[in-house]
Structure 1
Amino acid sequence: MRKRFISTLGLGLLLGGRLWAQSGYTDQAALTKRLQQLNAQYKNLTSLQSIGKTSTGKDLWVLSVGQGDRGKKPAVVIVANLEGWHLAATELTLQTAEKLLSGASSDSVARLLTSKTFYFLPNLNPDAAAQYFAKLKYERSSTARPVDEDRDGRVDEDGPEDLNGDGLITQIRIEDPTGTYRVAKGDPRVLVKADAAKGEQGQYLVYTEGIDNDKDGAFNEDGLGGIHLNKNFTFEYEPFKPGSGDYPVSELENRALIDWLYENKNVYAILTFGPANNLTEAYKFDPMKANQRVVKGWQAKDVAVNEYVSKLYTATGLKDAPSLPSTKGDFPSWAYYHFGKLSFSTPGWWMPKDTARAGSPRPAGATPVPGGRPGMGAGRGAAASPALGSEEDVELLKWAKANNIEAFVEWKEIKHPDFPGKKVEVGGLVPFVKWNPPVAMLTPAAEKHASFLLSVAKAMPEVEIVNVQTETLSPGLNRITVDVHNKGLLPTHSELGNRVKYEDRLKIVATPAKNQKLVSGRTHQLVRTAIAGNGVEQLTWLVSGTGTFTIEASSAPAGSSKVTVNLK
């Protein structure tokens, strides 16, 4: 019996006689304990809050980090694991928070924590993440609320089955001349889509491991739960698509997140750990999408900001990440297009480009199918799981072998009731292996992300009122001129924020003394266009009378400044 430990999964189960050891990923109970310990250890710098619960009663935690009144300081929000299968995102968020707090005694970090706030939300889909720790393990993105996914009047009646008894849901492959999958060139274990345009012929039908319980021709299309959070937000929401729900923001989890964000007006930018990436490679400006009535492309000034922040990101050494576009109905897109905030996203960790070494990132192969659970809802001949679809999976297996990680369940022939007389085999990539390395491999990435967050915080806008000038035009009549300066390197809000009515723009409030009269200028005004990094907005008032004249510039995401002018 081989006793080779599989450090990738942290599952503590038997697979074909081999022991799979825990690798340190945290279930909901351990996550809660870890957050509570952090909050107790750094009680002067943190607060812990549940912003809601899942349908099974699991808390959605937010760890707030900063000095003093955190809700009144410009903030960065870090959101992780809306997918459920992305345990590395949760771990990266926790480790990044820990590293930020452990460095709080240094002068540079301490200064930042007096003026900025960081909100860490490490796991927004704990019910789906629980599948990693369950007896039957498969990649799942759906919330736990029962849903009739195939609209046959029954709920959760056709989930996966463990046909080879290893505790994992992988794939089944069926030899068939009508199949659409072929053997990969670099590794006969890996199956990829056959490209008819290149003269390639398929050899296999491929499905998620299981049977057609309800005999509707589809495999595992109506398993536990059914709504995928990253398909259920309002921007480009697609109704009637599997996993998207009957209407947007139908789930307790994303409703709690949105409500909390709207209540916290100090949020300046959002970083999402997930399967999208605009940090190692910034978005390109597309004037057609950016200028149409329903905006579907980043605005020109926001693209410039994205490029700058991308340079901050890659300067940490976080490079060579895969190209991962946003998907319809996902959170990072909502955060920009409908919430009006600068929204950045990254998988956080990816398989190294050099497969012979471990450490920093680059995941091989296609991203998990939208919705997460491998191939759930796939009918005959349909695409199956996230473990299939790319020759790069060959590189993943090379990397796993070089790092002593068990990443593949060898194909094993079985008898399948839905395919009598056919050769059917069970096997494929181990669930979770593509995006969740051994936890020890995440430490360098967490250090780099902590450094990146500090760089972003340093660059964030910070308003100050400078160059205060008073000019006496006649006895008792004065002109006051000030420059409202953004001494940060980033704008006071996104360009798209000009079009999003909710955005908390910079407000200028002038308060005359009781015996003063404002001849020109306004007591309250908005700076509707964002002040660029190191930019200035000049304002002027004509005031009659003597005494103190107070001017305050403030914006929850950009800070505040106040001056008093004495008129004689």
Structure 2
Amino acid sequence: MTYDFDRYLRYDELTKWLHETAAAHPELMTVESYGKSYEGRDLWLATLTDASTGAHGTKPAHWVDANIHSVEVTAGVAALSIIDRLVNGFGTDPLVSRALRSRTFYIVPRVNPDGVEWVLADSPQRRRSSTRPWPWRDAHRAPGLHERDIDGDGRILTMRIPDPNGAWMVSAEDPRIMCAVPTEGTDADTVRYRLMYEGDIVDHDGFTVPTPHPPEGLDMNRNFPSGWGTTVLGSGDHPLSEPEIDALVRAIVNRPNVCGYNAFHTSGGVLLRPSSTRRDSAVAPLDIWVWTELGKRGTELTGYTVHSVYEDFTFDKSETMSGAADDWVYEHLGIFGWTTEFWDVVHAATGTKQSTHFWYTGPTEAEELAVLRWADEHNLEEMCVPWYPFAHEQLGAVELGGWNDMCTWTNPPLSLLQAEVQGHADFAIHQALAAPELEIVHNAAVALGDDVWRVEVGIANTGWLPTYVSRKARKDRMVLPVAAHLAGATVAVGTARQELGQLGGRSGMRFSQRHDGTPDRALVSWVVRAPAGTAVTITAEHQRAGTVVCDLVLGA
């Protein structure tokens, strides 16, 4: 199956591409189901590593997942592009080759397959995430407008309804654009409109049009344990109430070698980091520093700027965006989490980043006009639809048109899709290579007489991050220590297994005033009894930094 990352794959195509890619690269990639969605679809996890250098669980790993929100389909394309970069770069690209030989990548290209299928259907339905009815299990539709593709053209646009008290009027600059009525109002000759999503009105009373939440009102990125609460919109019945999130959390926890995490979303053209609920001053300063250092490289590779969710993206600090995945991996696992929000159409059109409160305020008239002119210049007619009449079953004569959100504000036009996701694979590789990595860099066997030997090995963390990864993890004792085990000879003094604590990484030496010492090293020894020529095996392991093995022949 040929795929050029210039369109969105339906579930069956996605499944086929994953399995065909794994079959073409069996030494690098496997695919497994880690659970089932609400509608019973397999949730696919791709595992990528060079199997010749060790099993996936013996190496530090980086986790990427995408498309927890159904309309954010660019995210899934980006996840697939990482897989493509890894399997096709191995053996030819030194950076990719080194990463796959020493690291593991876990990639979930579609956390929410049910919702995406609704969005990509010929007659689409847009939901925030899951298709499970919630909070009313009978899928009751409350009175009011429920968005739907009412004319069957495969798009959900905007309805404009003439209303002398409407809040919108046609822009004087371009008739396709609607602008806000001025604060002081307008003269009587100005035609004003009320704007609503394309859709049906349930139990219309002929006068009011409520805008209730859809029957499927979940937001699965509010269903993670960290910060979960009933006051958070769409959070579900309880933490992990949704099968997709329960399965995802268990899959991550069952892979303790995960050292970094990235969730792919749209939109904004930004790299978001925790916390979503606290100021930076309440987070460990060294952890903020690590995020900043990683983010610098992320910006270089992707052009996306780095922001704290709470500090920069929370419009009302009394209503935080809690229960999210990146907060959970940091608060509960102590690993550095990111949320990548792909695509900033304002920046594409103007060269200026959209406001960090864009999700709340929307575009200005000037921004809309700039985007429209840019779309015209690049022949992107699908982005904005000229208004056309439609006979609405409840409202009568209305017009449909305006922005096609799916290929304007939420996702890029398909012709720009491939270019938009480039660079993000290399940021994933960068994060993976920043992980701690155990190596045995010294070994010796010293004869003490009468078939007694002192065996010693020097174990080092040669990675950038410490073995515990974050200060949060170390403070809250989330990570087990490095352990070393000797086999093949009788241990005369002490025990075969020794725990060595945690090892520092190169990142910590930035704070050593160039007086490093060896916080990244540990020397361990055993006194053993065995005849000369005996082969002993020393295994050093750490849940995050990996497993390494050294074979040593006594007296050799």
Equivalent position of 1:19 in the other structure: none
2:79 to 93, 102, 106: 93
* Alignment check: 8 A CA contact 1:489 1:532 kept: yes
**Matching of residue 411 in structure 1 with residue 394 in structure 2:** no
**How many angstroms does 1:163 deviate by?**
4.9
Report what 2:197 is aligned to: 208
CA drift at 1:444: 3.4
Q: Which amino acid aligns with 1:454?
A: I
Query: Is contact 2:273–2:308 with CA below 8 Å preserved after alignment?
Result: no
Is 2:235 aligned against 1:244? yes
Matched, 1:458 2:433: yes
Where does residue 297 of structure 2 map in the other structure?
Answer: 312
**Structure 2 equivalent of residue 255 of structure 1:** 246
* 1:303 to 2:288 alignment: yes
Deviates more, 1:66-75 or 1:527-536: 527-536
Contact 1:414 1:425 in 2 (8 A): yes
- Matched letter for residue 559 of structure 1: G
CA offsets per residue over residues 214-239 of structure 1, 9 Å max, x none?
45966452535221211222222231
Take 2:11 and 2:85, find their aligned partners in 1: how far apart are those partners? 21
Q: Which of 221, 244, 251 is the aligned partner of 2:212?
A: 221
Alignment of 1:1-12 (within 5 A): none
Q: Cα distance, 1:263 vs. partner?
A: 1.0
What is the match of residue 495 of structure 1?
A: 471
- Residue 262 of structure 2 corresponds to residue 271 of structure 1: yes
The answer to whether 1:432 aligns with 2:409 is no
Task: Please name the residue that 1:104 is paired with.
Answer: 90
Aligned to 1:14: none
337 and 66 in structure 1: CA distance in 2 versus 1, 3 angstrom threshold: same
Q: Partners of 1:424 and 1:278 in 2: how far apart?
A: 34
Tell me, in whole angstroms, the C-alpha distance in 2 between the residues paired with 1:145 and 1:285.
26
Write the distance in 2 (CA, Å) between the matches of 1:418 and 1:167. 21
User: In the alignment, which residue of structure 2 is the partner of 1:84?
Assistant: 70
- Map Cα deviations across residues 164-206 of structure 1 (whole Å, 9 max, x no partner): 554432233445566555767865644566796xx78996543
Q: Distance in 2 between matches of 1:127 and 1:452?
A: 28
**Ranges in structure 2 where 5+ consecutive residues have no aligned partner:** 315-320, 510-517
* Residues 1:346 and 2:347 are matched in the alignment: no
Instruction: Tell me the amino acid that sits aligned with residue 460 of structure 1.
Output: A
The residue type equivalent to 2:426 in the other structure is: S
State the 1:257 CA deviation: 0.5
The offset of 1:264, in angstroms, is: 1.1
1:304–1:47: structure 2 CA closer, same or farther, 3 Å change rule?
same
SS at match of 1:345: strand
CA contact (8 A) 2:50 2:101 kept: yes
2:417 to 430, 433, 442: 442
* Number of the residue aligned with 1:18: none
Q: 1:163 to 1:557 in 2, by over 3 A?
A: same
Q: Which consecutive residues of structure 1, in runs of 5 or more, have no partner in the other structure?
A: 1-21, 292-296, 370-382
Provide the C-alpha distance between the structure 1 equivalents of 2:139 and 2:85, rounded to a whole number of angstroms.
47
1:392 to 367, 370, 385: 367
Structure 2 vs 1, CA of residues 132 and 542 (structure 1 numbering), >3 Å: closer, same or farther? closer
The answer to whether 1:52 aligns with 2:72 is: no
**Secondary structure of the residue that 2:116 maps to in structure 1?**
helix
1:394/1:507 Cα in 2 relative to 1: closer, same or farther (>3 Å)?
A: same
30 and 329 in structure 1: CA distance in 2 versus 1, 3 angstrom threshold: same
Q: 1:44 to 1:522 in 2, by over 3 A?
A: closer
Amino acid at match of 2:402: G
What is the TM-score when the length of structure 2 is the normalising length?
0.76
Q: Secondary structure at the match of 2:347?
A: coil
Moved more, 262-271 or 111-120: 111-120
Structure-2 separation of matches of 1:403 and 1:70:
45
SS of residue in 2 equivalent to 1:47: strand
**Conserved 8 A contact 2:465-2:506:** yes
The equivalent residue for 2:461 is: 486
CA shift in 2, pair 1:332/1:28, >3 Å:
same
1:133 to 113, 120, 124: 120
TM-score, with structure 1 as normaliser: 0.75
The amino acid of 1:398's aligned partner reads R
